[in-house]
Amino acid sequence: MPADAVKGSANTISYIINRGDDILNNLISEAKNGNSNAFMALVENIKAQLYKTAFMQLRNEQDALDAVREALVKAFAGIRDLKQDEFFKTWLIRILINECRRIQNCRGKVMPMEKECDQPEGAHIDENVGSMDMADMLEKLEAMYIEIIDLRYNHDMKMEEILKALDIPAGIVKSRLNTAHKILRKEYAEGREEF
Amino acid sequence: MKCEEVRDCLEEYMQGEIEGDKLQEITDHLEACASCKDEYTAMANIVDNIQSVYEGIEIPDRLAEITVNSKRCIFGFGWRNSGNVPTVHGKTLPYKKVVAVAAGLLAIFYVICLLRSIIIF
């Protein structure tokens, strides 16, 4: 009974979503019929993860909230374009990532990696002596690596889901993930030496 | 299995995406090869750290306020394109029936008018 289900508390909704694909599909078809409660029930338990995705891309609370809001509005308006219901989450994350990119472009934000190129070599390392932690390192990563790291370790996505979310070939997903790991490993080791 | 092959799929191994014979081969290799085992530990450490960064992101209260509004336009323009069917209290309107009944009534009215004009003149 999706109409009753959407009136429940967040816990009830998670329980219902976990109960089975039938109910999930019912909620999706309700949402496709324009029922906003059904749509919000679908996103309720991934909202925090979505916010974290946006925050890691935009590094700003207000921008991240804007991105989530815009992405949800766009997703709800376009939910009829979702052909395969099982890819709802992937599809939604893809909309959010595009929204983050749009906000970055609109507000003319300079990517940290580009900024770094202008600095004399080693400048950022001196700056961060003793404070080089993972959050700083992630902040220095390029957007395309952050995206992969985020889908993999924030949304716990499988390789197959990541390539669908980003619409890139499997080989590129793997090599980007490996490169991101190499960069983090290198910086992490450097950070440790500084201690 | 060679070290190079093992390291190439170490991340997927860690995330539990390797199955079958390959899974056993990698497990055996890691038991025997200290250098690959170190590589695995270092990678696991990085992943742990990344996950704690995510856990540490504070969720603002305002996130809970974000919601979307139902499109409750009745016979509004453009709802077909926007992908939203007019709804009332979450139920889809039988808009086709409404249009059909309206067209029928118009037709009956037209026939009555026609008949009256024939009778009068």
> pLDDT tens digits for A61-108?
999 999 999 999 999 999 988 888 888 988 999 899 999 999 988 877
| pLDDT confidence bin for A52, thresholds 50/70/90 | very high
User: β-strands B87-88, B91-92: how paired?
Assistant: antiparallel
pLDDT digits (tens, 9 = 90+) for A141-161: 888 898 899 999 999 999 988
A46 contact B CB<8A? no
* Nearest residue, CB atoms, A36 vs list B43, B46, B69: B69
pLDDT digits (tens, 9 = 90+) for B102-111: 999 999 999 9
Calpha distance A36→A42 (Å, rounded)? 10
Give B97: exposed, middle or buried? Use CB within 10 Å, 0-12, 13-18, 19+. exposed
Amino acid occupying residue A134: M
Residue B81 reports pLDDT greater than 60: no
Calpha distance A175→B77 (Å, rounded)? 47
The whole-number pLDDT of residue B95 equals 74
Q: How close is the nearest chain B Cα to the Cα of A172, in Å?
A: 13
* Nearest residue, CB atoms, B87 vs list A33, A78, A153: A33
Pick the residue from chain B with its C-alpha nearest to A73: B68
Test A153 with B42 for CB contact under 8 angstroms: no
* Nearest residue, CB atoms, B68 vs list A36, A51, A61: A36
Of A18-27, A173-182, A184-193, the one with minimum mean pLDDT is A18-27
Calpha distance B40→B34 (Å, rounded)? 10
- Which residues in chain B are contacts of A155 at CB distance < 8 A? none
| pLDDT confidence bin for A194, thresholds 50/70/90 | low
The whole-number pLDDT of residue B58 equals 93
Test A79 with B83 for CB contact under 8 angstroms: yes
Listing DSSP states for chain A in one string gives -HHHHTTS-HHHHHHHHHH-HHHHHHHHHHHHTT-HHHHHHHHHTTHHHHHHHHHHHH--HHHHHHHHHHHHHHHHHTGGG---GGGHHHHHHHHHHHHHHHHHHHTTPPPHHHHHHHSPTTHHHHHTTTT--HHHHHHHS-HHHHHHHHHHHTS---HHHHHHHHT--HHHHHHHHHHHHHHHHHHHHHHHHH-
* Average pLDDT, integer, range A12-35: 74
B84 contact A CB<8A? yes
* Average pLDDT, integer, range A50-57: 94
* Average pLDDT, integer, range B41-50: 93
* Average pLDDT, integer, range A6-31: 66
**Start-end of H helices in chain B:** 3-8, 10-14, 20-32, 34-56, 62-65, 79-82, 95-120
Residue in A13, A26, A28, A36 to test binding to B, most B beta-carbons within 10 Å: A36
| pLDDT confidence bin for A191, thresholds 50/70/90 | confident
Q: In this structure, what are the phi and psi dihedrals at residue B92, rounded to the nearest 5 degrees? A: -70, 135
* Nearest residue, CB atoms, A37 vs list B51, B63, B90: B90
The whole-number pLDDT of residue B57 equals 92
Mean pLDDT of chain A: 79
pLDDT digits (tens, 9 = 90+) for B12-26: 999 999 999 999 999
Q: How close is the nearest chain B Cα to the Cα of A118, in Å?
A: 27
Residue B11 three-state SS: helix
Give A167: exposed, middle or buried? Use CB within 10 Å, 0-12, 13-18, 19+. exposed
The number of residues making up chain B comes to 121
The whole-number pLDDT of residue B86 equals 52
Residues within 8 A of A (CB atoms), B 86-115 only? 86-87, 90, 92
The whole-number pLDDT of residue A143 equals 84
- Residues 6 or more apart whose CB falls under 8 angstroms from that of A149 comprise A138, A141, A177, A180, B50
DSSP secondary structure letter of residue B91: E
Tell me which of A130 and A155 has the higher pLDDT.
Answer: A155
Mean pLDDT of chain B: 83
| pLDDT confidence bin for A177, thresholds 50/70/90 | very high
Q: How close is the nearest chain B Cα to the Cα of A108, in Å?
A: 24
pLDDT digits (tens, 9 = 90+) for A110-119: 554 444 444 4
The whole-number pLDDT of residue B90 equals 54
B38 contact A CB<8A? no
| pLDDT confidence bin for A123, thresholds 50/70/90 | very low
Residues within 8 A of B (CB atoms), A 99-128 only? none
Residue in A28, A33, A57 to test binding to B, most B beta-carbons within 10 Å: A33
Of A100-109, B58-67, B82-91, the one with minimum mean pLDDT is B82-91
- Which residues in chain A are contacts of B56 at CB distance < 8 A? 135
Give A111: exposed, middle or buried? Use CB within 10 Å, 0-12, 13-18, 19+. middle
The token pair at A100 is 């983050």
